[in-house]
Amino acid sequence: MNKVSHFEIPFDDQARAQKFYSEVFGWEINKFGDMDYWIAKTCNSDQNMKPVEPGAINGGLLKRDETGKNPVIVVDVPDIEEHLKKIETAGGKIVMPTIPIGDFGLYSRIADTEGNVIGVWQLLKKEHH
């Protein structure tokens, strides 16, 4: 069974979105490296941003785009290419081809049979130092 690893919330105005989620939910939001992506820490987490609280997940804020018009849940998979084949076989569509995220992950977006966009993530490294 593949677990939901994080969420992504699109924004039109980064500062406005950061202020909203920080004030309303108390999330700690910080820019991620040199990417146009902000990590949303929603709970106590370890140095790799992995939640230490059972059942909790962290997420990110990113600029709204064609495949990310609405919030997206992201599912962890061991082999992204294998899962993209499964998705197409089951009637889903790849709406964003696989891209590398630094040297620690591969990411794609798919549409399920109902048109919902879901992220698919393959972790390449277990530790970030």
pLDDT in tens, the chain (129 residues): 999 999 999 999 999 999 999 999 999 999 998 889 999 999 999 988 889 999 899 999 999 999 889 999 999 999 999 999 999 999 999 999 999 998 889 999 999 998 999 999 999 976 554
User: What domains appear along the chain, each with residue ranges and CATH number?
Assistant: 4-123 (3.10.180.10)
Give me the pLDDT at residue 129, please.
Answer: 47
Give me the pLDDT at residue 43, please.
Answer: 93
**Cα–Cα distance measured from residue 33 to residue 47, given in angstroms and rounded to the nearest whole number:** 15
Give me the pLDDT at residue 126, please.
Answer: 63
Closest CA to 18 of 27, 99, 114, 71: 27
Give me the pLDDT at residue 33, please.
Answer: 87
Are residues 18 and 70 in contact, defined by beta-carbon separation less than 8 angstroms? no
Q: What is the pTM of this model?
A: 0.86
Are residues 32 and 61 in contact, defined by beta-carbon separation less than 8 angstroms? no
